[in-house]
Structure 1
Amino acid sequence: MESPAEILPGVIFYSYLSTERREKVCFWNHHTLILQVSGQFTLETSVQTISMNGGEMLLVGRNQLGTLTKTPAAGGPATGDPAGGGHYETIVISLQEDLMRRIALEEKLEAEQKYIGPPNLLIPSNEFLRGYFQSIVPYARNSGAAMTDEMGILKVKEGVKLLLLALPGLRNFLFDFSDPSKIDLEKFMLNNFHFNVPIKKFAQLTGRSLAAFKRDFLKTFGAPPRHWLQDKRLNEARHLIETKHVKPSAIYLDLGFESLSHFSHSFKKKFGIAPTSLVI
């Protein structure tokens, strides 16, 4: 069971979990700093798979789609796990663009060049970051320890400054406020077609208006987005069932279908047979 809570509304969040949970799709509008208190956090995107355990930090870049797996720690104390084992705890800090712009103005910070590194980064620990980590944990575990808006903003600013102290090159990561330029539509969609998100979200992620996305999509793939996505997902499903011998129940969520019945109905409509009939 998961118990999410907001430490600072819209900015700092806390999650406690006692059983494994896999979330099909998450979308990050803003850069996000994740503090892993206990358990294991795994992020899978089209280009990276990153795992971290208690005591580690991950910086997630904005405008991304990904799948999360949250795994509680084994019973008993765990190394780097301030709370001991047996559960999963994480603190999530949303580095919202308006606040990052404010920090940039106050601290006279700006990107020096275009960031070209990986979109998600494990942050090397140091004593300053460990101290920062520990200063937030009590607010997460003690619902009576209220964090005021002013305190919360100061904590975000502190976190940003410590990130830059640890990795000065993050200036280009954190303070590039340009909109995503038009990226290769074909490459992006072939890597991300399985994510079940609205068409307008795909448009945003490729740096296009919804109208431009639909126009470019039709030109690139010869079909409207919704039709192409359904067809691509079903063809991928048949390939996995016939060549990898996986069960439909094991893949329908990963291919963007909301329910097994919807997947089975769509599969039979396209291929004329039920997906289960192909399972060896």
Structure 2
Amino acid sequence: MEDQLILQHNFLYARGHRKTQSSEHYFPDHALGIMLSGESQYFSSEGTFIMKEDTVCLMRRNQLFKKLKKTGLNGEPPSLISLFLDQDILHRYATENEILKPSIYRGKAMIDLTGNIFLKAFFDSLLPYIDHPKKLTAKVAELKTYEAIELLLQTGNALQSFLFDFNEPHKIDLETYMNHHYKYNIPMSSFAQLTGRSLSTFKRDFAKIFVTTPEKWLQQKRLEQAYYLISNKKQRPSDVYLDVGFENLSHFSFAFKKQFGLTATELAAH
């Protein structure tokens, strides 16, 4: 059975059907979400953030993380509602409400807002739209988005800089960043944005540093890490391929044998 995804404007309802699902994500926009059932674990440079039923979380834009979704204690599938706060609507809100340029945000990328009764009521008001998504028109979505911004600002002044810090990522050390984040299976355009570059500049800078293309380097790096985990850490190939950034086992197996002359299963048996 396939996962269910319903996206209306900037609102997303997601419901999984498999017991455990692992994936990588990059959000270019802030996201406010609530876990309706099951559990989601987010792994990032900040550590691990766990969302259980009724957990409300605000996630900062331009974040890269791995996510593991699990069923709940009673076997209910993981499901959540997310609201994405894009830069256009935040710019518009700031202009209409005369919000002066705030200081640069330097706090946590994931903020736990669980227990806020107003945010819980806000998400409760969205539940009917799961079964009737067409009722969530563009106008209603805009009004609900403005409501969410108002509720977030009522939680305290700290979230003003979180929401309205419009600074973009600066051009950062590409070699260090890629060596730390090569396991994330995200589009090349996302790597470019996260390192403060256009896609063409990212590829040009990458070639100067690594003397190869990003695609070739990523596959080589991921295969080398897989070889190490299987031969030295005695991990199973079926557990390794996702962890090092491959999308499916068959592609991983083919690339592994082509690179090392034996299958990952044969290496594991040694």
1:5 and 2:6 correspond: yes
* CA distance in 1 between partners of 2:203 and 2:137 (Å): 44
2:214 is aligned, of 225, 234, 237, to 225
Give the aligned partner of residue 40 of structure 2.
41
Preserved contact between residue 111 and residue 173 of structure 1 (Cα < 8 Å): no
Give the aligned partner of residue 119 of structure 1.
109
1:136 and 2:136 correspond: no
Deviations 1:171-200 (A, max 9, x none): 112112222111222232122101222323
Give the aligned partner of residue 88 of structure 2.
98
Aligned 1:1-280 pairs, distance under 5 A: 1=1, 2-6=3-7, 9-75=8-74, 86-140=76-130, 142-143=131-132, 146-280=135-269
SS of the residue aligned with 2:72? coil
| CA separation of 1:147 and 1:187: change in aligned 2, threshold 3 A | same
* CA distance in 2 between partners of 1:146 and 1:70 (Å): 29
* CA distance in 2 between partners of 1:72 and 1:30 (Å): 27
How far apart are residue 21 of structure 1 and its match? Answer: 4.2
| CA separation of 1:259 and 1:87: change in aligned 2, threshold 3 A | closer
Preserved contact between residue 20 and residue 69 of structure 1 (Cα < 8 Å): no
SS of the residue aligned with 2:106? coil
TM-score (structure 2 length as normaliser): 0.89
* CA distance in 2 between partners of 1:174 and 1:144 (Å): 27
| CA separation of 1:229 and 1:87: change in aligned 2, threshold 3 A | closer
* CA distance in 2 between partners of 1:55 and 1:202 (Å): 32
* CA distance in 2 between partners of 1:258 and 1:170 (Å): 36
SS of the residue aligned with 1:24? strand
Deviations 1:123-173 (A, max 9, x none): 242232222232222333x42782332222111111111112114212112
How far apart are residue 110 of structure 1 and its match? Answer: 4.2
How far apart are residue 46 of structure 1 and its match? Answer: 4.2
Give the aligned partner of residue 78 of structure 1.
none
* CA distance in 2 between partners of 1:3 and 1:197 (Å): 21
Preserved contact between residue 111 and residue 171 of structure 1 (Cα < 8 Å): no
* CA distance in 1 between partners of 2:151 and 2:76 (Å): 30
SS of the residue aligned with 1:166? coil
How far apart are residue 206 of structure 1 and its match? Answer: 0.5
* CA distance in 2 between partners of 1:73 and 1:241 (Å): 31
What is the root-mean-square deviation of aligned Cα atoms in Å? 2.2
How far apart are residue 74 of structure 1 and its match? Answer: 2.6
| CA separation of 1:17 and 1:201: change in aligned 2, threshold 3 A | closer
SS of the residue aligned with 1:257? coil
Deviations 1:250-271 (A, max 9, x none): 1112222233232222222222
Preserved contact between residue 20 and residue 71 of structure 2 (Cα < 8 Å): no
Unpaired runs of 5+ residues, structure 1, are: 76-84
SS of the residue aligned with 2:132? coil
Unpaired runs of 5+ residues, structure 2, are: none
* CA distance in 1 between partners of 2:121 and 2:30 (Å): 22
| CA separation of 1:114 and 1:276: change in aligned 2, threshold 3 A | same
How far apart are residue 232 of structure 1 and its match? Answer: 0.9
* CA distance in 1 between partners of 2:78 and 2:267 (Å): 38
How far apart are residue 278 of structure 1 and its match? Answer: 1.9
